[in-house]
Structure 1
Amino acid sequence: MYFDKKIVNAIFLRRPNRFQAYVKLRDEEIMVHVPNTGRCKEILTTGTTVLLREELGEHRKTAYDLIAGYKGKQLINIDSQIPNKVVFEALKNKKILNLEKYNIIEREKTFGNSRFDFKLSNDLGEEYYLEVKGVTYEENGVVMFPDAPTERGKKHLLELIEAKKQGKGAGVLFLIQLDNVRYFTPYKDMDPNFSAALKLVVESGVDVMAYCCYVTEHSITLKEIVRVKI
């Protein structure tokens, strides 16, 4: 997908809270919105080059969203709204292995006590619930999730197991918002409960998938499958 809004480069200065950051844009210090509640500490370091997306909403307090940052030469997208858009595009274009047979794509559908990102179905009456998790944390080519504890994430995994027990298809897709990675694994030290739930998911027959992306300053697109190590 291509970004249809103006993208500009800036220099990251600091992030006083989850939703706000200060950057230097054309020699002026300004406040911007950060559309990611994760820590992103290894990306958002003082002096690094970041990408801003212009947002001109009438009631906004800031004129830009901080959507990506360079970690060395690696560009990492951190916009938490991007993964679902990338996966939706990939589903429509039949780019996700083993999900090509589903021709009906519904977003934000409820099963049990959880709302999943996608409900897929087809003319044969088959149903599949898919949860998408955006991944931005990387160490030496290894990407991990989550970068902050997530009780909600664990709840989604356990609900996928219930969907599987009821005869539905179920899966979680970790959308890695960068390229050139070795493999994906849960971040056990950050959230051991999520990691334990992910292991249970695998044992229950729920699909666990990971895909990396082509990332440029003006686009992000699903690229290829990444090996998963639980």
Structure 2
Amino acid sequence: MILIEKTGLVQGTLIQRYKRFLADVRLEDGSVATAHTTNTGSMKTCWESGDRVLLEPASNPARKLKYTWLAVERAGAWVGVETGMPNRVVAQAARQDALPGLPGLREVRTEVKYGAESSRIDVLALDGEGRTVFIEVKNATLKDGAWGLFPDAVTERGTKHLRELQAMVREGHRSAIAFFVHRTDVDRFDAAREIDPAYGAELDRAAETGVSVLPLAVRLVTRPQAGGLWSLSWELPGLLPWVRRG
């Protein structure tokens, strides 16, 4: 099931990504465009110069950067690099009762304040029994072998979110951490324990407390369109196995 689709995309070849927000791309006509990059993290294992990329033209003609970088092809597999997409796709899946691991959700809302540590939950819903369900979404793009991993850098904020999800379980609610594994070249998931041991340990505690750990398998599908343009769609066909490394 297609949850979100972008059309009218432009293909190019990545030259470099720099200054966190910028990527230079050679377009098919030979010109070079600087695209906006929403992912300000390390983007380890996500790109190399020469990779094929898909860019979304800006809807505002007055915008300084005319394109936003959405995805990159790595050795025949696609990696999503637009960080706003995971929350949108998960929320849409919840609204359509198509979120793997959490069927039967209703009254879906997004960006709702909650918890004792002043956070906002990415997706809030009710389940079939009327219980409140708190869903935190994490964009997981790091790869090591067959594993998709999170995080790609130490994340105290992410560890805080796990603590708050556990607090919601203790109050009698349901909680889930949805790892949006935003690439199609992995077949299992774990925390990046070598990068952030504290996060890995907190994830284990969260699971023991009753927080649902949902490593979402993400399918990125590209299709050619008229005029040399492309479409890109996001699907959630199921869950990846959570296989602890080491």
Asked if TM exceeds 0.5, the reply is yes
Q: Distance in 2 between matches of 1:185 and 1:122?
A: 26
Q: Give the equivalent residue in structure 2 for 1:143.
A: 148
1:167 equivalenced with 2:167 (yes/no): no
- Structure 2: how far apart are the matches of 1:182 and 1:30? 34
The structure 1 residue matched to 2:137, chosen from 132, 135, 140, is 132
Q: State the TM-score, normalized to the length of structure 1.
A: 0.93
Q: Deviations over 1:78-125 (max 9, x none)?
A: 111111121122112222345223211011111112111011115754
Q: Which runs of structure 2 are paired with 1:1-230 in the superposition (5 Å)?
A: 1-25=3-27, 26-57=29-60, 60-112=63-115, 113-122=118-127, 124-217=129-222, 218-230=232-244
Inter-CA distance 166–59: structure 2 relative to 1 (3 Å threshold): farther
What is the match of residue 225 of structure 2? Answer: none
Equivalent-residue separation in structure 2 for 1:70 and 1:124 (angstroms): 42
- After superposing the two structures, state which structure 1 stretch, 3-12 or 215-224, moved more: 3-12
What is the CA-CA distance between 1:73 and the residue it aligns to?
0.5
Q: What are the Cα deviations for residues 147-193 of structure 1, in whole angstroms up to 9, with x where unaligned?
A: 12222111111110111111111110111112353210001122222
**Cα separation, 1, equivalents of 2:243 and 2:25:** 37
- Look up the equivalent residue of 2:184 and give its one-letter code: D
- Tell me the distance in 2 between the aligned counterparts of 1:66 and 1:196: 33
Letter in 1 for 2:191: P
* Alpha carbons of structure 1 residues 3 and 96: separation in structure 2 relative to 1, 3 Å: closer
Sort the Cα spacing of 1:130 and 1:2 in 2 relative to 1 into closer, same or farther, 3 A: closer
Give structure 1 stretches of 5+ with no counterpart: none
1:21-57 superposed Cα distances (whole Å, 9 cap, x missing partner): 1111121122110111222232221111111111132
Contact 2:100 2:216 in 1 (8 A): no
* CA distance, structure 1, for counterparts of residue 26 and residue 101 of structure 2: 45
| Identity within the alignment, % | 27
In 2, the alpha carbon distance for the partners of 1:133 and 1:219 equals 19
Please give the root-mean-square deviation of Cα atoms over the aligned residues, in Å. Answer: 1.7
Counterpart contact for 2:104–2:128, Cα < 8 Å: no
Contact preservation (8 Å) 1:214, 1:221: yes
Runs of 4+ in structure 1 displaced over 6 angstroms?
A: none
Letter of the 2:105 counterpart: Y
- Higher relative contact order (CA closer than 8 Å, sequence separation 6+): 2
Note the residue ranges of structure 2 that are not aligned, 5 or more in a row: 223-231
